[in-house]
Structure 1
Amino acid sequence: MVSRRPFYIVVALLYILGIALVVYRHVAFDVPLWPGEYRNVWSAEAKVEFDANGGPVMASLALPDTQEGFTHVDENAASPGYGLSFVTKDGITRAEWSISSATGHQELYYRTDMLSDPYAKALPVTVPTIDKSLEKEPIASAINQILAAAKTRSADAFTLTREILKEFKNQEQNAALLAKYKKPAYLLVEILNQADIPARVVRALNLEDGRRRQRLVDYVQVFNGDKYDLFDPNTGVQGRPENLLLWEYNTTPLLDVAGASNSQVTFSVIKKLVPVNKALEAKFEHTDMLNFSVDMLPVEEQSLFKGILLIPIGVMVVVFLRVICGLKTSGTFMPVLIAVAFLQTQLFTGLVGFLSIVGVGLVIRSWLSKLNLLLVARISAIIITVICIIGGLSVLTYKLGITQGMRITFFPMIILSWTIERMSILWEEEGPKEVFKQGGGSLLVAVIAYLAMSSGMVQHLTFNFLGLQLIIMATVLVMGNYTGYRLSELKRFKPLADELHKK
């Protein structure tokens, strides 16, 4: 008989080590065990990319600072081989990288940490100068017609801006002509300047947790005396949206690169919970070698790991429901991948998309079975079919104005194809009852795993405490050692229980 002692020792060590790591990170670094007790810090990373021509390179990037709703608490940059300086001129600070010689594709990183602070006050803002451009016909006439109509219904700079944006919709011909001339934000600034109203285009970053490779959006900053407000030139909405960070707001280039080509800058964002005292002191201990945490990585990788670290939670749910409860699923860990897709699509949209894809796929698979194709060709055809179904549903939902529907592209296409194949074979061999049993079990497990993985508490713990992964592993090993009756099998003893109850 094989001794179980090594197994129990390993499980005990995993529990002890996992709990110790969680306690250490909580005590030593003051990371909260419960979300909501601490302040939000948005970590935004700019990734500068360009192709160097082989000679000296100079790159300059506009930087954000303390502003309404956000306090700038920390910044750092990664630029191997480059000299880096933060240059301040006329109250404007920019990051400047330089190198004597560089060739090929280059990547530079700058990261800023902005504390969500409702009491934050922006630095003094200088009013931009008014630049009246002399346009040629028919551009000048189109601008004058829109401005003249808007002036009759306005009283100040803000109301005039709103009316100009309305006129873009009322005067469709003029709007279409001007749209080919300039981008909406720059066009609005030019029209306001014609009315002697100072305005400028500012570049802003939408702070959304876990977003990667996004670009800045244009807003128009309109001044009315010593006050100003923001306008969205595309929607006409006045006011500053929540979680909007102004990145470039001094009428300077966002990125200026000399000695290179194909330059661009993209942004990644992640939200962190930081203890109040540490946030206010602006001291983050990322350089501590004992601080083995995900927040030491670049923001783009942090966003990726935030989702990856949730997968063990889904795996634990699958093990419990299959080993302890005895639920049948189509595929072992297919429900976990579906649950991960649900995190991107939201539950209702994901359920509708999953049922639609599998339902249509089964119908097409039944037709393919009549063609007597080889397995490889049949699976390939199903994969192409699944892709076509997902593409068609995305286009259909977009046409209907349901933007959530476009996220069904997050479904694992290969896994869905094999699921359709297995269900079709199961239908032929066992009948529809077994198909619905396994399919329904898979969907139930996926929903339960989604509910566990979408919990704010779970997301907070898995991201901030890597030791939790060891605890989950130990729990999975314990459940894997279970050899007793599954809960679903207890119904076999119901007649015996009823008979004993009668006695």
Structure 2
Amino acid sequence: MKSRLFFYFLVLALVGAGLSTAWLRHVHTHIPFLPGEQAAVWLVEARIDFLAQGEPVTVGFDIPADPPGFQIFAEQTASPGYGFSVLEINGNRRGEWSIRQADGPQTLYYKIQLVPRRDDRRPESVPVPAAANVHWDEAEELAARQLLASAHATSSTPASLTREMIKLLAAPEPGQNAALLLAGTPLVPLLEKLLNYSNLPTRVVHGISLEDGRRNQRLVPLLEVFVTDRWQLFDPETARQGIPDNFLLWSQDERSLLDVSGGRNSQVRFAMMSQNVSAVQLARAAVDESGFAFLGVHKLPVEEQNMLRILLLLPAGALVLVFMRIMVGVQTSGTFMPILIALAFLKTTLLPGLVSFVSIVAFGLLLRGYLSGLNLLLVARISTVVIIVIFVIIFSSLFGYQLGFNTGMTVTFFPIIIIAWTIERMSVLWEDEGPREVLIQGGGSLLVAVLAYLLMQWPVMGHLSFHFPEINLVIVALIMLMGNYTGYKLLELRRFRAMSPRVEP
């Protein structure tokens, strides 16, 4: 009784471990459970135009590092003849193009693909920066003090003071003091100056609102105010606090957005569009950042990934084999021969693989019948069959190539040694049991191989086995349950039809 309880506990543990690990992988890496799912990404292109002056050119351009609400999926540049590198300075990224000599109009492109994401990260605390020194003339200082006094009267915190100041300056009909200050200074620099005068550290950042299909856009300046222990963003037009929806914060660096050495008349324009890409492709970018990178196969070389993609399908084939033999009662030639045939069908496709396999085995049986009359020893007989089968495959490959088909060439994926043993086994079975038993076991092997192939080539099965290899623990649990079954097989029920109760009319 205890052994039975332990067995069922082990089965449940395997199922729980497989399903829970798959779910955690899905949550942390965002790999979808179904193939073919698409995810939306934004493609933002920055175009830099300037006029080179026939001398060495160096172009510095601020590029996003870790924009809030987005994850950088890919980035690329298009700048023929220019060298490009990314410089990281105090957490800020800056692209730098350089060329030994350039003359005339120049155009550089920087493209970035961004994935929207929920940004649940709490901003890190930073040391309190110092407010910049501010200088006014006498009239401006008097107007600034009166504006700040009005804002202080209706506010209680640095954030509310900022909002009240924006309302005073961005009003449709600003007051006399606001109008005086706005006459000499634009809105955003004036806000920065007033808040610094009130001993609030500020900085100007730049971003862009993402709308599908927009072109010739420019960055919009926003104001960040240091409140408590972190920077908080404010819209200088609406006083809205926080980052707006679909807004890309492009530059948070205090340096200029664009610096051009060796050129003049520089300008930056932005274009954007929404795209759909494979969700799996996006998820692979997040695998390196999660703890599942060690347990996944995506970091392996492509050649090993392709090999593992096939190997991870073997448990699915074993599940079909165990079900058909234990539960249904189908007889096969050899234990795992149907799985190997199913693997070959994955390369040859089903119908060409069936025709090729049946043809090779049939020819091998004829050859084996002839060799049996020569009274050869087992090892010599098997070796002869292997060599002849290899020649048959070479001939079929050449013949198919001459006719313009590649079916014969794919036959080489069949396990030659296993086929030779199958031919030998069927020949002995023919001699001992007769052709009927050969047809039963041979047909059963092909039936199981076809069913295993259909499951293994199912896109959902291939997707789950490769991206969630822990699902195979569930398959192991199912195989163990079926291995514990001791009842009648499905095909055995017909033997007991006469024992079933009959209803008299």
TM-score where L is the length of structure 1: 0.53
The verdict on how the C-alpha distance between 1:500 and 1:24 changes in structure 2, with shifts beyond 3 A counting, is same
> 4+ runs of 1 displaced by more than 6 Å?
none
1:291-306 alignment, distance < 5 Å: 291=293, 292-306=295-309
Equivalent of residue 345 in structure 1, options 338, 341, 348: 348
Residue 447 of structure 1 is matched in structure 2 by 450
Contact 1:310 1:453 in 2 (8 A): yes
The structure with the larger Rg is: 2
Residue identity over aligned pairs, in percent, reads: 48
Residue 326 of structure 1 is matched in structure 2 by 329
Two-structure CA RMSD over aligned residues (Å): 3.0
The AA in structure 2 aligned to 1:501 is V
Deviations 1:58-88 (A, max 9, x none): xxxxxxxxxxxxxx9559xxxxxxxxxx9x9
Residue 32 of structure 2 is matched in structure 1 by 32
Residue 461 of structure 1 is matched in structure 2 by 464
Residue 11 of structure 1 is matched in structure 2 by 11
Instruction: State the distance in 2 between where 1:425 and 1:93 align.
Output: 71
Equivalent of residue 274 in structure 1, options 276, 279, 286: 279
The DSSP-based 3-state class of the residue aligned with 2:432 is helix
Segment of structure 1 superposing worse, 397-406 or 463-472: 397-406
The verdict on how the C-alpha distance between 1:40 and 1:409 changes in structure 2, with shifts beyond 3 A counting, is farther
> Mind listing any 5+ residue stretches in structure 2 that lack a counterpart?
42-71, 86-107, 111-276
Q: In the alignment, is residue 368 of structure 1 matched against residue 359 of structure 2?
A: no
Segment of structure 1 superposing worse, 30-39 or 459-468: 30-39
Residue 286 of structure 1 is matched in structure 2 by 288
Residue 248 of structure 2 is matched in structure 1 by none
Instruction: State the distance in 1 between where 2:504 and 2:299 align.
Output: 65
Contact 1:345 1:405 in 2 (8 A): no
The verdict on how the C-alpha distance between 1:33 and 1:355 changes in structure 2, with shifts beyond 3 A counting, is same
Contact 1:19 1:467 in 2 (8 A): yes
Contact 2:393 2:408 in 1 (8 A): no
The AA in structure 2 aligned to 1:327 is V
The AA in structure 2 aligned to 1:90 is G
**Displacement of 1:493:** 1.6
Residue 472 of structure 1 is matched in structure 2 by 475
Contact 1:319 1:479 in 2 (8 A): yes
The AA in structure 2 aligned to 1:286 is D
Residue 400 of structure 1 is matched in structure 2 by 403
Contact 1:345 1:407 in 2 (8 A): yes
Contact 1:339 1:447 in 2 (8 A): yes
**Displacement of 1:409:** 0.4
Residue 335 of structure 1 is matched in structure 2 by 338
Deviations 1:84-118 (A, max 9, x none): xx9x9714779xxxxxxxxxxxxxxxxxxxxxxxx
**Displacement of 1:313:** 0.3
**Displacement of 1:396:** 1.2
Instruction: State the distance in 1 between where 2:28 and 2:334 align.
Output: 42
Equivalent of residue 90 in structure 1, options 81, 85, 88: 81
Instruction: State the distance in 1 between where 2:381 and 2:109 align.
Output: 64
Equivalent of residue 421 in structure 1, options 424, 438, 446: 424
> Mind listing any 5+ residue stretches in structure 1 that lack a counterpart?
42-71, 76-85, 95-121, 125-271
TM-score where L is the length of structure 2: 0.53
The verdict on how the C-alpha distance between 1:39 and 1:492 changes in structure 2, with shifts beyond 3 A counting, is same
Deviations 1:356-414 (A, max 9, x none): 10000000000011111111111111111111111111111111111133111000001
Instruction: State the distance in 2 between where 1:471 and 1:334 align.
Output: 23
The AA in structure 1 aligned to 2:9 is I
Instruction: State the distance in 1 between where 2:442 and 2:451 align.
Output: 14
Q: How many residues align?
A: 286
Residue 360 of structure 2 is matched in structure 1 by 357
Residue 430 of structure 1 is matched in structure 2 by 433
Instruction: State the distance in 2 between where 1:453 and 1:123 align.
Output: 45
Instruction: State the distance in 2 between where 1:420 and 1:302 align.
Output: 33
1:160-171 alignment, distance < 5 Å: none
1:173-188 alignment, distance < 5 Å: none
